[in-house]
A and B are shown apart, each in its own frame.
Chain A
Amino acid sequence: GAVVSQHPSWVICKSGTSVKIECRSLDFQATTMFWYRQFPKQSLMLMATSNEGSKATYEQGVEKDKFLINHASLTLSTLTVTSAHPEDSSFYICSAKGGASGSYEQYFGPGTRLTVT
């Protein structure tokens, strides 16, 4: 089956620093990757959609200068949280979608827990 990995699985950083989270599709080419954020005991909220080779599309209310997304290849997308603050502490989950026309399924990574102190 399709596997998506995320690295790191958890990270603790100090306020004001930047953190990069990687999302990789291990056995398929992902034309589209999605980034979600999930606060404790809440649902997933879509942050942005990234297509390989083009700029990410951010959801309303998500600061594109704070959450930098790069989808440089068909197997890798990165999310960089710049100048992190404690309110950015959350569980970040990516998903990847293959290129087959009409293929609806997204494959989710295991998530990255970010704690900003």
Chain B
Amino acid sequence: SQQGEEDPQALSIQEGENATMNCSYKTSINNLQWYRQNSGRGLVHLILIRSNEREKHSGRLRVTLDTSKKSSSLLITASRAADTASYFCATDATGTASKLTFGTGTRLQVTL
């Protein structure tokens, strides 16, 4: 399977704390994307980082990419209860015409 791995599988933190999720993948990529999915809902695109970028910020989100290790991390700072969701990384591998391969996902629970 080419599916990426994410860890942790589940993460429970208190509001205000930071949450870090990691993603590893197997192939060369054009870009890596992070998505959020609330239970039983569609996906919300969070951020895209290209293969030639190492770090990207968007609001409370910080994404890093290490292509030599084939890994990425998503940091959510100052978490809120509304951040409770599943988070998936997805890779756009080179030569695949934009097909996305999703990671296994991290279920984040933010408690008050």
Interface residue ranges, A against B (CB under 8 Å): 6, 32, 34, 36, 41-46, 49, 91, 93, 95, 97, 104-111, 113
With contacts defined as CB atoms under 8 Å apart, how many contacts are there between chain A and chain B in the complex? 56
Point out the residue from B43, B97, B102 that lies within 8 Å of A49, measured CB to CB: B97
Contacts of B41 in A (CB 8 A): 110-111
Q: List 15 A-B contacts (CB under 8 A).
A: A6-B42, A32-B98, A34-B99, A41-B107, A42-B104, A42-B105, A43-B105, A46-B99, A46-B100, A46-B101, A91-B40, A104-B98, A108-B35, A111-B41, A113-B40
Chain B residues in 8 Å Cβ range of A46: 99-101
B7 shortest CB reach to chain A, Å = 13
Chain B residues near A44 (CB-CB < 8 A): 43, 88, 102
Bitwise interface map of B from 31 to 63 toward A, beta carbon under 8 Å scored 1, else 0: 101010000111111001000000000000000
Interface range on chain B: under 10, 10 to 19, 20 to 34, or 35 or more?
20 to 34
Interface residues of chain B, those whose CB is within 8 Å of chain A, are 3, 30-31, 33, 35, 40-45, 48, 88, 92, 97-105, 107
